[in-house]
Amino acid sequence: MSRYTIYNLVIDVNRKLHGGKMSNQQSTIDEGRRTMIGKITPVEMTRKSYMEQALYDQIKKYAVPYDMNYDNLVEIKALDKYHNVDTLDHPLELVYRRTFDQQRRRAKNVISIGWENGVKYALVNHPRGLKQCQHLLVNDANSLTANGSWNVGGNVVNLHLDQLNHITGCASIGFDINNSSTSGFIANFTMNPIDMSDYLNVGAAFAWLSFPIPENVISVQITLGSNLSNLSTDIYTAAVNQPHDNNAFVSGWNLLKYMLNNLSSTGNPNPKAIAYIRFDFTTNGQAIPGCNMDNIVIRKGVVYEILYNSAYCIIDPGTGAWKQFTTTNSDILPLEEDTYNILMLETALAAQKELYANNFGASTDVTELETSLAQSYYMYKLNHTDEQLEPEESSYNLGDFMNGYSTQGLDNAYGSQGQYGDYDES
């Protein structure tokens, strides 16, 4: 593969400007990139990443790579077995967000890419293998006293049971955070002991927290302890400053995830006898009334790898990170000749149109570049036949059709239930 740099691109673009110059090199190159990916999907911009640290049973929403080009997901694989997550009998369908809930209610294996609060995320339902993952209920938060007694301290006050606003069960634990200080806690040190030893290296602790004013919350620390005679030792701790599927706390319910393989320990906590749990809140000192906590669960997960088409085509030569904007002429463009040529022409056209509007360029220069681009796109699609395949349906199968292939699978997939049939959860 060719390894062009921004320096090469600038030289080639300037040759097309006939004495002119890009007024803003960074933004003009980015305009060329945006126009290019709106017309083609270069294979050189395919990237490999992970769906967070792992996927978990009964957890539907996950963060996706920041540079994914819309919902352009190519493949998703279970990392430990390195095969497609589903078979012909149980394909994982990529569907539009509008139809995700409809398909989920039919027990289908579906994934949807969408946006919420300015953050791109994936909704995933029933990928193969997660159903077999174990989970351990720490506390359902349906009572203030049923499984140990909850208590509060610091700037956390007004502990109560909320039977209206909850995620699971019949209630959640309600509380307020006042402006008396910047720290407070909610804790339970008399609950039934749990054994989380099997989850330490492969699991995560999840808890639902609701904050009506999320910008006042800085971080939330979890403490899991086994020494009820001295709560300051024999403990595991971890802190997060965002929910697992977002880059900042949001107004309303946030699902917090604490990776158990990244816990800090004090003393010698016994993972087979965890009977103390505590959440410490660090705030900016402003009041946060109407908070809630619900359903604390430890789950095992499965690491999934995704292959997707990136919207970025620039690689930092020092860190290897993909980025949107160029910052140095040594930035790398990992593009083949035909893709690079299209990016160069689109960048030159953007610059030439600006020069022509400023009475420096000529209309013939713009016309010639547009003609060259039309020919380049024609040849590109002629040489890359996948670019000519137009989607005919509103969903796409991501399953491995050669794994689990059977006549029964064909019947299930194309039966009387519709295009893909109906599926159970096995």
Distance (Å, whole) CA 146 – CA 60: 29
Domain shared by 346 and 276, yes or no: no
Mean pLDDT of 258-272: 95
Domain shared by 156 and 240, yes or no: yes
Counting the structural domains of the chain, the total is: 3
- Whether 422 is in a domain gets the answer no
- Whether 425 is in a domain gets the answer no
319-344 per-position pLDDT tens digit: 999 999 999 999 999 999 999 999 99
Mean pLDDT of 95-122: 70
* pLDDT higher than 80, residue 424: no
Domain shared by 212 and 292, yes or no: yes
Query: Could you tell me which residues come within 8 angstroms of residue 354 by beta carbon, excluding any fewer than 6 positions away?
Result: 23, 28
Domain span at residue 257?
135-302
275-309 per-position pLDDT tens digit: 999 999 999 999 999 999 999 999 988 777 888 89
- Whether 113 is in a domain gets the answer yes
Cα radius of gyration rounded to whole Å, the chain: 27
- Whether 69 is in a domain gets the answer yes
* pLDDT higher than 90, residue 239: yes
Angle (CA) 342-344-347 rounded to 5° is 105
Domain shared by 380 and 252, yes or no: no
Higher pLDDT, 383 or 88: 383
- Whether 317 is in a domain gets the answer yes
Q: What confidence score (pLDDT) does residue 179 get?
A: 97
Which residues are paired to 188 by β-bridges? Answer: 150, 277
Nearest CA among 104, 101, 89 for reference residue 414: 89
* 10-14, 87-91, 351-355, 375-379, range with the lowest pLDDT: 87-91
Residue 291 Cα distances to 153, 232, 247, 283, angstroms: 14, 26, 20, 13
* 37-46, 147-156, 186-195, range with the lowest pLDDT: 37-46
176-228 per-position pLDDT tens digit: 999 999 999 999 999 999 999 999 988 899 999 999 999 999 999 999 999 99
- Whether 345 is in a domain gets the answer yes
User: What band does 235 get if pLDDT is binned at 50, 70 and 90?
Assistant: very high
* pLDDT higher than 80, residue 417: no
Domain shared by 185 and 232, yes or no: yes
3-state SS string over 132-177?
A: HCCEEEEECCCCCCECECEEEEECEEEEEEECCCCCCCCCEEEEEE
Q: What confidence score (pLDDT) does residue 84 get?
A: 44
Q: What confidence score (pLDDT) does residue 126 get?
A: 64
User: What band does 355 get if pLDDT is binned at 50, 70 and 90?
Assistant: confident
Q: What confidence score (pLDDT) does residue 327 get?
A: 94
* pLDDT higher than 90, residue 103: no
Indicate the average pLDDT of the chain: 83
* 118-122, 252-256, 401-405, range with the lowest pLDDT: 401-405
Distance (Å, whole) CA 312 – CA 342: 15
Domain shared by 258 and 207, yes or no: yes
Distance (Å, whole) CA 101 – CA 110: 9
Q: What confidence score (pLDDT) does residue 421 get?
A: 32
Give the end of a domain, one of 280, 302, 324.
302
* pLDDT higher than 60, residue 351: yes
Q: What confidence score (pLDDT) does residue 422 get?
A: 34
295 and 205 Cβ atoms separated by less than 8 Å: no
Mean pLDDT of 355-380: 84
Domain shared by 174 and 270, yes or no: yes
Long-range contacts of 152-155 (CB under 8 A, 24+ apart): 152/184, 152/185, 152/186, 152/187, 153/184, 153/185, 153/187, 154/180, 154/181, 154/183, 154/184, 154/185, 154/281, 155/179, 155/180, 155/181, 155/182, 155/183, 155/184, 155/281, 155/283
Nearest CA among 132, 91, 295, 313 for reference residue 209: 295
Q: What confidence score (pLDDT) does residue 64 get?
A: 84
Helices 337-357 and 363-383 cross at an angle (nearest 10°) of 160
User: What band does 411 get if pLDDT is binned at 50, 70 and 90?
Assistant: very low
Domain shared by 92 and 76, yes or no: yes
Q: What confidence score (pLDDT) does residue 273 get?
A: 96
**Does the predicted model carry a pTM greater than 0.85?**
no
Residue with tokens 């990139």: 33
Q: Any idea what the CATH number is for the domain that residue 161 is in?
A: 2.60.120.430
Distance (Å, whole) CA 92 – CA 78: 12
Domain shared by 114 and 180, yes or no: no
Residue with tokens 């290296």: 201
User: What band does 397 get if pLDDT is binned at 50, 70 and 90?
Assistant: low
Name the helix (H) or strand (E) containing 35: helix 25-37
In 181-267, at which residue ranges do the beta strands (DSSP E only) sit?
A: 183-188, 203-211, 217-225, 235-240, 252-259, 264-266
- Whether 263 is in a domain gets the answer yes
Domain shared by 175 and 231, yes or no: yes
45-95 per-position pLDDT tens digit: 999 888 777 788 778 888 888 889 888 888 777 765 544 444 444 556 676
Domain shared by 115 and 200, yes or no: no
Q: What confidence score (pLDDT) does residue 75 get?
A: 77
Distance (Å, whole) CA 272 – CA 197: 6
Give the end of a domain, one of 249, 277, 302.
302
Nearest CA among 288, 220, 226, 214 for reference residue 252: 214
Nearest CA among 153, 148, 233, 159 for reference residue 194: 148
The percentage of the chain sitting over the pLDDT mark of 90, rounded to a whole number, equals 54
- Whether 100 is in a domain gets the answer yes
Domain shared by 178 and 225, yes or no: yes
Amino acid in position 26: Q
Distance (Å, whole) CA 394 – CA 125: 17
